[in-house]
Structure 1
C-alpha cells in the first residue's frame, strides 16, 4: 500500500491533453458508433430482403417439413464409405 504523499510537482509533470485532441477523440468515437449502428441496420435489412426470395423460401419449406416429420421417418444421414487401398 502506497502511503507516501506525492508532491504537486510530480502530478503537474503529467502532460495534459489539448482541448482539441479531446474533442477530436470524442468526434471519432461518435462517428465509429454511428457507423457501426448503420452497418447493423444494413445487415438487418439485407437479411429481411433475402428471406423473401424464392430460394430462401424453398429452403425454409424443406426445413419445416423435415422438422415436422418424426425422427424415424427422416432419411438417415449419408454414410461415407471408407477408402479402399488400391495397391
Structure 2
C-alpha cells in the first residue's frame, strides 16, 4: 500500500505501507523504481517512515514519475480470475 500527502512546503511524502507491516515485494519494487529518478532517493530504511521528496523532482521528471505510478496502479489491480 502506498499513499501520498504533502506535509512540508515544496515537498511530498509517501507512506509506503501500513505502520508496523513489513515491506512487501511490491513496495520494495516501488522504492527501487522511484530511486531511479533523479532527485527522488529514499533509503530502504525509510520505508517504515514517510520519506519526502522535493516537488521539483516530480515536476522535472513527470513522465518518469508517471510511468512508475502507472506501473504501481497496474500491479495493485486485483485479477478477477483470482477472486474467491
Q: Same fold (TM over 0.5)?
A: no
Larger radius of gyration: 1
TM-score by length of 2: 0.28
Bigger fraction of residues in strand: 2
